[in-house]
Amino acid sequence: MDSNDVHLSVNIDGIPLFKSSNVQFWPILAKCGHFGPFIVAMFSGQKKPSPIEEYLEDFLTEYKHLKDNGIVYEGQTYSVSIDALICDAPVRAYLKCIKGHTSYESCERCLIRGARFDGRIVFSEQEFTSRTDDSFSRVEYRNHQIDVSPFIAAGIPCVSSFVLDYMHMVCLGVVRRLLFYWTRGPKICRLSVRQKDAISQKLTALRGKMPSEFARQPRALHEIDRWKATELRQFLLYTGPVVLKTVLSPERYTHFLSLTVAMSIMLESDDRIRKAYLQYAHELIKHFVMCCADLYGKTFPVYNVHGLVHLHEDASHFNCSLNDISCFPFENYLQQIKKHVRSGRSPLEQVTRRLSEMEHSEVNVSKMHPEVFASVKERDCCFLLRDDRFAFVRQKNADGTFACEILHQHYTSPLFHQPCSSGLLNIVCIGKGQVRMKNGLLCERDLFRKVACLPQGTGGSVLIPLRHGVEH
Ligand SMILES: [Zn+2]
């Protein structure tokens, strides 16, 4: 990134304040790299702000001024641009003035046309023409655009700048859909009571084993209606591959893993690794989407499932991990805003007062780097080193160094072999007692990446490097 540029990501969402009334906030939030999120503007009312032009007017006028003139700080001028708009699908439809995600031509990236089946719009085609920013700004998509989005006049490319947020599309969308189909879906894929119990037992056995970076520990399947987005992500990337093994049919297990592997690649923060495997991730996703209807029935491939085939476009266009362009940090901040409202009287004033108090008391609450928790406790002791060996912290020394046991991958085995060896993601199994470790002294910067070390019933453990930031 050019140091003279301020690249903003913007999030807009509605949050209901109380269960007993319709009062809702519609904040406009922004984030710049690791700085933020912060509030740009806020609307409070009984329903979604309307007309949209009025809601966005001040924001887009201010943005136009900043875009044309830049921002001057300590004598230096910085250019300002909104690079990404990060919202869930209903808000994207509202902001872009397009049809909702339950309509025939709802895909924001291509011209695929859905078909109605059993009361749902499903997508079965595999080949499609891409939408372009130019055609969108000329309002040429008559079956998709219902009005002229105010973002067009602001010069924001409405196809490529609106991110297909993976928190909603993948975690709350496809992963939750899979869990619903396994637990209460059609007969062709619904699991038996015994299979569901086996998965729940394995999940609850992992309680207390997830590293401190996780906000929550695994819960049993009967609670899936209450699973949060972070728990669904935890299932997709870490616990799912462990607890589904030998319970799901081999075909469905491999199918699930193709989503795990593809998402792990697109969430990879190392640019070099992510770029090298991005095309492979896309191929895996295409395979995942293509096989869905056969494995889960014709009602499965709805909007979110089709949208998976476009995720690699965002990783490529924004040249970053999907983590850096997700709703997760904004969602977390929205919950904080909500906590500032204590009563139904003048909610906007309550939040404004509390935020200005915080601004005066805290210089900067957001941290530039995620914290690394290293301890001798089992759940926080395992790390991946840059040479792909694993280190287990056995003692923290007063001089800041760590006495470790170090394991070469040669003495490990893959957790799975299809669709690729899990070793590609440094996901491996270690047996009990037969592990050959060397002693070594390491410092903090050697501990490249935290690893979840999940015990298996057999006595060994599965090691899975973390691919997402610290949860709160
Ligand atoms: Zn599409």
Domain ranges of the chain: 5-88+327-361, 166-323, 378-465
| Helix/strand/coil percentages in the chain, nearest 5 | 40, 20, 40
Let me know: does 96 contact 149? Beta carbons within 8 Å: yes
Across 391-419, average pLDDT? 94
Return the amino acid letter for 80: V
Confidence of residue 211 (pLDDT cuts 50, 70, 90): very high
Q: Which helix (H) or strand (E) holds 398?
A: none
Q: What is the pLDDT of residue 346?
A: 80
Q: What is the pLDDT of residue 353?
A: 82
Confidence of residue 455 (pLDDT cuts 50, 70, 90): very high
Ligand 1 centre from 174 Cα, in Å? 15
Ligand 1 centre from 277 Cα, in Å? 21
Q: What is the pLDDT of residue 128?
A: 85
pLDDT of residue 366 exceeding 50, the answer is no
pLDDT of residue 115 exceeding 70, the answer is yes
In angstroms, the CA 375 to CA 377 distance is 5
Confidence of residue 435 (pLDDT cuts 50, 70, 90): confident
What's the mean pLDDT when you consider all of the chain? 92
Ligand 1 centre from 109 Cα, in Å? 5
Across 133-157, average pLDDT? 97
In angstroms, the CA 182 to CA 127 distance is 28
Ranges 3-7, 37-41, 301-305, 408-412, most confident: 301-305
49 vs 34 pLDDT, higher one: 49
Confidence of residue 371 (pLDDT cuts 50, 70, 90): low
Across 330-344, average pLDDT? 86
Ligand 1 centre from 152 Cα, in Å? 21
Q: What is the pLDDT of residue 470?
A: 58
In angstroms, the CA 120 to CA 169 distance is 17
Ligand 1 centre from 56 Cα, in Å? 27
pLDDT of residue 166 exceeding 80, the answer is yes
pLDDT of residue 414 exceeding 60, the answer is yes
Ligand 1 centre from 63 Cα, in Å? 30
Ligand 1 centre from 308 Cα, in Å? 9
Across 356-378, average pLDDT? 66
Q: What is the pLDDT of residue 318?
A: 97
Across 151-177, average pLDDT? 97
Across 412-423, average pLDDT? 96
Token output for 173? 């969308």
Q: Percent of the chain scored above 90 by pLDDT?
A: 81
pLDDT of residue 220 exceeding 90, the answer is yes
Q: What is the pLDDT of residue 364?
A: 47
Ligand 1 centre from 114 Cα, in Å? 10
Alpha helices in 138-218 (DSSP H): 150-153, 166, 176-184, 193-205
Instruction: Please give the DSSP secondary-structure letter assigned to residue 425.
Output: G
Across 159-183, average pLDDT? 98
pLDDT of residue 450 exceeding 60, the answer is yes
Let me know: does 49 contact 55? Beta carbons within 8 Å: yes
pLDDT of residue 1 exceeding 50, the answer is no
Instruction: Please give the DSSP secondary-structure letter assigned to residue 129.
Output: P
| Residue 305 CA neighbour count, 13 Å, CB half | 27
In angstroms, the CA 417 to CA 266 distance is 20
Ligand 1 centre from 93 Cα, in Å? 15
- Cα dihedral sign, 457-461-467-472: positive
Across 362-383, average pLDDT? 71
Ligand 1 centre from 307 Cα, in Å? 6
Ligand 1 centre from 39 Cα, in Å? 32
pLDDT of residue 471 exceeding 80, the answer is no
pLDDT of residue 317 exceeding 70, the answer is yes
Strands 461-465 and 428-430: antiparallel
Ligand 1 centre from 129 Cα, in Å? 8
Region of 223 (left: φ > 0; alpha: ψ -120 to 50; beta: rest) is: alpha
Confidence of residue 434 (pLDDT cuts 50, 70, 90): low
Let me know: does 151 contact 67? Beta carbons within 8 Å: no
Ligand 1 centre from 285 Cα, in Å? 13
Confidence of residue 368 (pLDDT cuts 50, 70, 90): very low
Q: What is the pLDDT of residue 369?
A: 45
In angstroms, the CA 258 to CA 312 distance is 14
Ligand 1 centre from 407 Cα, in Å? 44
Ligand 1 centre from 77 Cα, in Å? 39
User: DSSP string of 437-468?
Assistant: EEEEEE-GGG--EEEEEEE-TTS-EEEEE--S
Q: Which helix (H) or strand (E) holds 55?
A: helix 52-69
- Count CB neighbours of 319 within 10 A: 12
Ligand 1 centre from 323 Cα, in Å? 21
Ligand 1 centre from 305 Cα, in Å? 10
pLDDT of residue 378 exceeding 60, the answer is yes
Across 140-154, average pLDDT? 97
Ligand 1 centre from 248 Cα, in Å? 29
- pLDDT tens for each residue of 72-82: 989 999 999 99
pLDDT of residue 295 exceeding 70, the answer is yes
Ranges 188-192, 238-242, 428-432: which has the least confidence? 428-432
Ligand 1 centre from 108 Cα, in Å? 6
Ranges 61-65, 354-358, 452-456: which has the least confidence? 354-358
Q: What is the pLDDT of residue 340?
A: 83
Let me know: does 359 contact 27? Beta carbons within 8 Å: no
Q: What is the pLDDT of residue 2?
A: 52
pLDDT of residue 200 exceeding 60, the answer is yes
Q: What is the pLDDT of residue 469?
A: 65
Q: Percent of the chain scored above 70 by pLDDT?
A: 95
pLDDT of residue 360 exceeding 90, the answer is no
Ligand 1 centre from 120 Cα, in Å? 17
Across 2-31, average pLDDT? 89
Region of 173 (left: φ > 0; alpha: ψ -120 to 50; beta: rest) is: alpha
Confidence of residue 361 (pLDDT cuts 50, 70, 90): low
Ligand 1 centre from 128 Cα, in Å? 7
Across 210-226, average pLDDT? 95
Ligand 1 centre from 415 Cα, in Å? 33
Residue 429 bridge partners (DSSP): 413, 462
Question: Can you tell me whether residue 184 is helix, strand or coil?
Answer: helix
458 vs 134 pLDDT, higher one: 134
